[in-house]
Amino acid sequence: MTLVAGAARTLLDPPLGVPMMGYGARLGAARERHDPLFARALYCAGDGGELLLVELDLCLVAPAQAAALREEIERRTGVPPARVLVGCTHTHSGPDTGLGALLGGGDAPAHVAPLLAAAADAAARAQAGAAPARLGSGRTAARIGRNRRVAGGPLDPTVLVVRVDRHDGSPLAVLYVHGCHPTVLGHDNLAYSADWPGAASRAVEAALPGALAIFALGAHADVDPRTRGVMDLAVEGQSLGVGFDEMEALGRELGEAVAGAAAGLATRPDARVGALSARVAIPVHGAGAPPEARAAARRDALAALDLAPDADVRSADLFRLGAERTRGLPAEERRERLARVRRYLRDRSAPRFAGGQRPEVEVQLLRLGDALLLGLPLEPTVDVGLAWRGRMASPLACVVGIANGWLRYLPHPANFEEPGAERFYEVLMSTLVPDAAERLLECGERLAVELGVGGP
């Protein structure tokens, strides 16, 4: 079957004056727009079936929101949800999407529904415009990030590049995947922006007229832009950002590398595409812990802040009290005390974020020619991405994070064994038990076998 493909984007136009998402330290609502936010979609069909990849310039959406959007896309396109990946570029300069309200049992704010509707529209238009196409995949390298967990720690400079051409060879779309937080702009910024991925996409589109650039977030949990340093619980104000000029320059650097790689790719009309999805039941931190163990953990968290063991303090207030009551302590002592509080909060909140003690976590695999994209509803560390590539023995295998919702962070099992691991933000913000990444990667391998690209 000859490949057919279509691509489309729809403007996301959140109102000013609503809260922004991504930084707990941010004060104030959105005041202006620096650059546009979009929903971008790529539809492909050929040998192996069909798929839709939809990426929104938003920080996060809840699993329930992603599920509802995939169902709406199915209603409009006929593409089953298992073949639709809904992702977020994870800009920290976009509007709030109501995650907190949904977790609390409420409804998302009114401005959110039009954003998700725009994504469904992009998906429908991508499919409606599908025509004979050609596809090729490759990679390039960029070093716009640095490991934020450990100075000089693991970093994967790989950028996966998938070029989709019209039948005449002119570029239709360029999909690129890289692992680095879109956090050049910090909590001090009150202007909507897609951060460096927006600048990178503009650079790709300028270099390849007629192509729609689509960014998907790779294994990024412990990688920040190189404009930032190591993340440290003991240091306040670390989410301050730099200016728009630096953001544009960093994105342009990666975008030019992507455009150069895309320009050199050979495309073919018989590239195979496909998508599969499965679910894995994985316990959350603290699942099955007896009441006395949970009570002991709470007493330890309170003691870390010099509070009485029976103090009536809401969990939501412990973040604030942690900052207030440890301020001025020596760095090592402050780090240790805050980590004790965060571990308690992590385990207590894990079932709420995951929807239960043993959630069914979705694993999705997209095949685009030789490229293998493993979608996970979490923020994977660099080591998770490297492990997936190693399992596939393919330089064109990559992880797509925050795919079909968000269940917080996903460290590799080795990250839990590192010295001082329980003081690292990524471990303290994880939801699932330490071997969760291995279980999810094993599921991905099984899906690859079903797609005919894995196994002995």
Q: Specify if 200 maps to a domain.
A: yes
How far is it, in rounded angstroms, from Cα 257 to Cα 140? Answer: 7
How far is it, in rounded angstroms, from Cα 127 to Cα 116? Answer: 17
Contact 50, 68 (CB under 8 A): no
**Are 343 and 363 found together in one domain?**
no
Whole-structure pTM value: 0.97
**Are 320 and 407 found together in one domain?**
no
Out of 306, 322, 350, pick the residue that ends a domain: 350
**Per-residue pLDDT tens digits of the chain, which is 456 residues long:** 799 999 999 999 999 999 999 999 999 999 999 999 999 999 999 988 999 999 999 999 999 999 999 999 999 999 999 999 999 999 999 999 999 999 889 999 999 999 999 999 999 999 999 999 999 999 999 999 999 999 999 999 999 999 999 999 999 999 999 999 999 999 999 999 999 999 999 999 999 999 999 999 999 999 999 999 999 999 998 999 999 999 999 999 999 999 999 999 999 999 999 999 999 999 999 998 999 999 999 999 999 999 999 999 998 899 999 999 999 999 999 999 999 999 999 999 999 999 999 999 999 999 999 999 999 999 999 999 999 999 999 999 999 999 999 999 999 999 999 999 999 999 999 999 999 999 999 999 999 999 998 765
Q: Specify if 142 maps to a domain.
A: yes
**Are 434 and 295 found together in one domain?**
no
pLDDT at position 455 is 61
**Are 206 and 237 found together in one domain?**
yes
How far is it, in rounded angstroms, from Cα 241 to Cα 195? Answer: 11
pLDDT at position 456 is 54
**Are 318 and 190 found together in one domain?**
no
**Are 421 and 305 found together in one domain?**
no
Phi, psi of 414 (to 5 degrees): -65, -30
**Are 199 and 306 found together in one domain?**
no
Q: Specify if 145 maps to a domain.
A: yes
pLDDT at position 48 is 85
Buried b (16+ CB within 10 A) or exposed e, 220-248: bbbbbbebbebbebbeeebbebbebeebb
**Are 304 and 444 found together in one domain?**
no
Full domain range(s) for residue 40: 4-278+359-450
Q: Domain count for the chain, please give it.
A: 2
246: left (phi over 0), alpha (psi -120 to 50) or beta: alpha
Phi, psi of 362 (to 5 degrees): -80, 135
Q: Which two tokens stand for residue 9?
A: 């984007």
Q: Specify if 184 maps to a domain.
A: yes
Q: Specify if 455 maps to a domain.
A: no
Q: Which two tokens stand for residue 292?
A: 């006395």
Q: Specify if 261 maps to a domain.
A: yes
Residues sharing a CB contact under 8 Å with residue 36, sequence separation 6 or more, in sequence order: 11, 12, 194, 198
Bridge partners (DSSP) listed for residue 347: none
Contact 39, 200 (CB under 8 A): no
Q: Specify if 285 maps to a domain.
A: no
**Are 97 and 143 found together in one domain?**
yes
**Are 103 and 219 found together in one domain?**
yes
Q: Specify if 270 maps to a domain.
A: yes
Out of 350, 367, 389, pick the residue that ends a domain: 350
**Are 325 and 230 found together in one domain?**
no
How far is it, in rounded angstroms, from Cα 417 to Cα 438? Answer: 14
**Are 313 and 183 found together in one domain?**
no
